Amino acid sequence: MSNKKYFETYAVRGASCGDNVTGSISYPIYQTATFKHAGLNNSTGYDYSRVKNPTTEELEKTVALLENGKGAIAFSSGVAAITACIYLFKFGDHVILSDDLYGGSFRLFNQTFKNFEVNSTFVDTTDTNNILNALTKKTRAIFLETPSNPTMKVTDISAVAKICKKNNLLLIVDNTFLTPYYQKPLDLGADLVIHSGTKYLGGHNDVLSGFVVANDESLIERLRNINMSTGAVLSAFDSWLILRGIKTLHIRLDRAQENAIKIAQFLNNNTNVEKVYYVGLEDFEGYELNKSQATGFGSTLSFRLKDKNLVPKILEEVKVITFAESLGGVETLITYPYTQTHADIPEQIKQRLGIDEYLLRLSVGVENIYDLIEDLKRVIGV
């Protein structure tokens, strides 16, 4: 199942290839909170939608199939999926995380769960020595984003997996940026894979969702119990929207990546741009490593301007590109990480990572490339 040539077929047809009861090509939306029983101790297998719903179950099976996992659990958002993983730990446990990652992940570990004494250390995981130096007797997991958000650092998943296996740690990888179409962390040794399904899996900026995928049955059951107990479940209708989005995932990603490469090259040669952060540029630091563990580069990139005074002009005057948070949809979005996605990260850390007043992030969509580049030329110059 791991051969990429199968991916497109599974994405389009899903785990069940439609509804086998009625023959419906589109898997039905089971818009119900509860299910009737034929009698005492006689259940259909579905009792209450917070526990299990057929539409959500079909989505979970499809996502697990695409990630080469044994099981997946759907959540109401990507942050809810990350939160469920943190619930695997207990008072006093320690987690090592990539230092350049989504601001919401940073907030969860550094603020919310710090109150429950789940301790965290943020390091540059592109150098495994940093990980080794951060290990303590209470370390229980390593949490990676690769490529990272927003400066696109690439971490060697297999190398970190070896450290985890040697020290009996969980390896958690956020695979939102590349999706299972381009990268399969479980095949590289990860224990848990996280997705904000809001992004590329949904692909149309119209639904929130999150996923955790695993190969270990006991982990799957623990996470499913956490999901059921805490209640951050995905609704049937939202599950159907993600199923529909996944059908075109490979088409959208290939087209968006094609656009992203051309935009990255344009920005790389722009006199008003100091640096472009995109793993698809051959001279980018993580290019070769990303090629060794992924089959694509994705369509998210960041770039640093030489003059921060250009930022308001760009954000206010783009016409084809939209100034909005999030990423992974068919529309091209531009974001200002300094005050938006990474606002809760302390100033000294942002400055060290280069998340400052000069940095912008682009989520490249599937519009005509000429329109996108002309829009950028108009607001940035050449």
174 tagged catalytic:
yes
Q: Phi first, then psi: what are they for 13, rounded to 5°?
A: -90, -20
Q: Got the DSSP string for 259-317?
A: HHHHHHHHHHT-TTEEEEE-TTSTTSTTHHHHHHH-S---SEEEEEES-TTHHHHHHHH
Neighbours of 42 (CB within 10 A): 7
Cα separation, 163 vs 138, in Å, equals 15
13 tagged catalytic:
no
Active-site annotation holder among 27, 30, 102, 338: 102
Active-site annotation holder among 140, 153, 199, 255: 199
Active-site annotation holder among 156, 174, 191, 375: 174
Cβ contact 186:159 at 8 Å: no
Cα separation, 215 vs 202, in Å, equals 23
Structure tokens at 325: 């948070």
Among 336, 258, 266, smallest CA distance to 297 is for 258
Active-site annotation holder among 19, 46, 50, 378: 50
Per DSSP, what are the bridge partners of residue 355? none
Structure tokens at 173: 């990888």
50 tagged catalytic:
yes
Residues annotated catalytic, as ranges: 50, 102, 174, 199
